[in-house]
Amino acid sequence: MKHRVIDLFAGVGGLSYGFAHDNDFEIVIANEYDPIIAKAYSLNHPSVDMIVGDIRNIQEKSLLDKIGNRKIDLIVGGPPCQSYSTLGKRLMDDRANLFFEYRRILKIVNPKAFIYENVSGLLSMDGGNLFPIIKQEFSKLGYIVKFKLLNAVEYGVPQYRERVILVGATMQNDFEYPEPTHGSGLFVLPEVAISDALGDLPKLKSGESSIEYSNEPLNDFQCFVRDSNLLTEHEAPTNNPHLIKIMEALPDGGTKRDLPIDLRPRSGYGNTYAKMWWNKPSPTITRNFATPSSSRCIHPRDSRALSTREGARLQSFPDSYLFYGSRSMKHLEIGNAVPPLLSIALTKQIKKIL
């Protein structure tokens, strides 16, 4: 008997990935507010019953009708993180309170366990007062709750990306968080660097594209993501000549302070117009990963903006994974996702308590 799963705030399906690729699980229902992102999810998970629209509009009767006589064992998901992000305004707005809707669905469905994911800023939101409230609300439903801050880079993702992972269970909560597989410890592998993640992709200049790989997979990460014979979404954005000069003048890991005065941008924060490090993991990927004026995201080898496929690689999405909509919408889908390799690690651990 498979463990049945519902994915709330599903996005493009990064958190679903591990469960969808484990024969002991079946994702039966997902919910996503944005119809374009919901379409992207369904392209990759066509068997899942997708509820498109605001979670606040999901009525108890219609949800129970969809579930039927099937028992749901697990609910996963994380509400929009913009309200909690340390890069945002951090307002206690409607989005900040969407955890109540997650709780409402939990109460209706009453699964054995749940996984609630969000950005690290959740811990300090509202002066540190919000997170205890969230834990308390879940505990009121009879769940034994535990949480930990995990960094995706420790699970083979070529990116520093901290996320709060809160796990609740109705039985004795024996859930154990996955041990790091990558890092500096004695029994783990080295962190996956950008060069490890992107080294088999052909060099591009601004505005160029390619549908062919430059070489065979060279490491375990490339073997994982190379599940397609055709390279897609590898097109470098077209930038103006002045920005191209700026990107080409930057050294590996350089910032605008390393630029000649005549090229140095006068606006932006310290990590804008900055180049990543070729032999280190990427900084946290956001929806603006192809916008050099927004964050440190300039390709360290090719001195250009990242392609869509490169952003997906840095999130550990396999090359066959599909995104939908305009380029900016695809980047939103990628930047907001849970890295699939982190999802796989969580899937293995939650299975042990189910």
At 86-121, the pLDDT tens digits run 454 534 445 567 899 999 999 999 999 999 999 888
What are the φ/ψ torsions at residue 122 (nearest 5 degrees)?
-60, -35
pLDDT value of position 160 = 98
Residue 341 has pLDDT above 50, yes or no: yes
Is residue 35 in some structural domain?
A: yes
Q: How many domains would you assign to the chain?
A: 1
Q: Beta 113-119 vs 162-169: how paired, if at all?
A: antiparallel
Nearest CA among 328, 315, 344, 351 for reference residue 161: 315
AA letter at 214: S
% of the chain beyond a pLDDT of 90? 86
CATH assignment of the domain containing 142: 3.40.50.150
* Coil/strand/helix, residue 236: coil
- Contacts of residue 183, defined as CB under 8 A and 6 or more positions apart, other chains included, come to 153, 154, 190, 191
Average pLDDT over residues 212-234: 96
Residue with tokens 């410890």: 185
Say whether 297 is catalytic. Answer: no
Residue 115 domain flag: yes
* 272 falls within a domain: no
Domain for residue 299, yes or no?
no
Q: What DSSP character marks residue 224? A: H
Structure tokens at 36: 């374009």
pLDDT tens-digit profile of 52-83?
999 999 999 999 999 999 999 999 999 885 54
Residue 272's closest CA among 248, 250, 256, 252?
A: 256
pLDDT of residue 271: 86
Render pLDDT for 259-308 as a digit per residue (tens, 0 to 9): 999 999 987 778 899 999 999 999 999 999 999 999 999 999 999 999 99
Q: Where are the beta strands (DSSP E) in 205-345?
A: 274-275, 296-298
pLDDT at 185: 77
Please work out, in degrees rounded to the nearest 5, the angle formed at the alpha carbon of residue 270 by the alpha carbons of 192 and 337.
45
pLDDT-wise least confident of 57-71, 168-182, 329-343: 168-182
- Per-residue pLDDT at 83: 46
pLDDT for residue 116? 97
Residue 217 lies in a domain: no
Among the listed residues 339, 354, 351, the one whose alpha carbon sits nearest the alpha carbon of residue 117: 339
SS3 53: coil
Parent domain of 345: 3-182+338-353
In a domain, 232, yes or no: no
Q: With H, G, I as helix, E, B as strand and everything else as coil, classify residue 145.
A: strand
From the candidates 51, 81, 246, 274, which is the catalytic residue? 81
Residue at 281 is within a domain: no
pLDDT tier, 173 (very low <50, low <70, confident <90, very high otherwise): confident
